[in-house]
Homo-oligomer: A and B are copies of this chain.
């Protein structure tokens, strides 16, 4: 038992309908350590994770899919930058799902995501994902309810396929308060070096905060299964968010316990000339 074992994501029961207001978006009050200790731990985790990821790659049998979702400014990009730094880019790929292209819209909504799932031995990260099709699409009624309401089951079937064919799915909802989003958007306006991250359209989306929270509650509640669980990550403090996700991913790798594979043929004693 280490003192960092307090850094845990919120989980909830399969089948349970959740309300996000019941989950804290900040660190526990009794946490007992701060930013500095967290950063140190994240660094140590990164070294251990890189070693385990190397074995996962050598083993070439299973994969990990990390799905990151959250409101604007929740920290999807920052999580990748801080938690995954240290990973070998050969076996770690990020796919950022943006507004679908015309060709993507000419296919079912899972088509572009299926193309991007990690290959054996690799860790894939979805920065936004197929869940956008029951989030932004639902909030803005981009398709009729009869269409989006069927997607939860389609998503569950898709994720079941992935998990039963060797992919461990880890879905993180980066949970922030409305006040945290306000501060972070304001920072993007006020700090020149952050201007490139600011999109005036984000302010319009912010007005739909409660509609988005409801859409998230539905997605989390309907698509939380043993083989593809959601974790609610308290994300008001970046250092705590990063620590929780780092601890979580390290545990996932430890549970997989990948091993260097045995040689397919016996070449002991062979001498290279």
Interface residue? A22 (CB, 8 A): no
Question: From residue A185, how far is it (CB to closest CB) to chain B in Å?
Answer: 4
Interface residue? A170 (CB, 8 A): no
| Size of the chain A interface, CB-CB below 8 angstroms | 44
Q: CB-CB contacts of A261-272 with B at 8 A, as 1s and 0s?
A: 111010110111
Interface residue? A172 (CB, 8 A): no
- When C-beta atoms are compared, the residue in chain B nearest to A46 turns out to be B85
Taking A81-B88, A89-B125, A90-B96 as contacts, is the C-beta distance between A195 and B272 under 8 angstroms?
Answer: no
Interface residue? A214 (CB, 8 A): no
> Would B86 and A90 count as touching, CB distance under 8 A?
no
Taking A86-B86, A88-B80, A90-B96 as contacts, is the C-beta distance between A260 and B186 under 8 angstroms?
Answer: no
Give the interface centre of A50, A206, A263, A268 by most chain B CB atoms within 10 Å: A263
What is the count of identical protomers in the complex?
Answer: 2
Q: Which of A107-115, A130-138, A146-154, A196-204 contacts B (4 or more CB under 8 A)?
A: A196-204
Taking A182-B273, A270-B189, A272-B206 as contacts, is the C-beta distance between A263 and B198 under 8 angstroms?
Answer: yes
Binding site for B on A (CB under 8 A): 50, 58-60, 77, 80-81, 84-90, 92-94, 96, 125, 127, 182, 185-186, 189, 192-193, 195-198, 200, 203, 206, 260-263, 265, 267-268, 270-273
New A-B contacts (10) at CB < 8 Å, excluding given A58-B196, A198-B263: A58-B197, A59-B196, A89-B89, A89-B92, A89-B94, A182-B272, A185-B272, A189-B272, A196-B260, A200-B265
